[in-house]
Amino acid sequence: MALYKHGHHLTQSHHEAFDTPLTPGTLAAYPGVYRCIVCGDEIGIAKGHALPPQNHHQHAVSQGPIRWQLTVCAVQR
């Protein structure tokens, strides 16, 4: 789970990007922290960079496939 100290730097959003699970290797449309919805592994990634490939980390067969989901979006002004 992503951690933070200063909550006043964060704003809650209901944007659909936070609800969309992504497959390994997908280009990140938004910069920020992505979390595997199956195992909880988190990564930081820049906009336009590919999410880690399938071999970045492994799941047991019973867990199912790796799926990344945007957790925190970095906003550039």
For 16-50, how does the pLDDT look when each residue is reduced to its tens digit (9 = 90+)?
Answer: 999 999 999 999 999 999 999 988 999 999 999 99
Torsion over CA: 61, 62, 68, 71 (sign): negative
Question: Residue 76 class from Cβ within 10 Å (0-12 exposed, 13-18 middle, 19+ buried)?
Answer: exposed
Torsion of CA 66, 31, 9, 76, to 10 degrees: -170
The SS3 of residue 70 is strand
Q: Please report the pLDDT score of residue 48 as a whole number.
A: 93
CA–CA separation, 65 and 14 (whole Å): 25
Q: Examine the pLDDT at 56 and tell me if it is beyond 90.
A: no
Q: Examine the pLDDT at 59 and tell me if it is beyond 90.
A: no
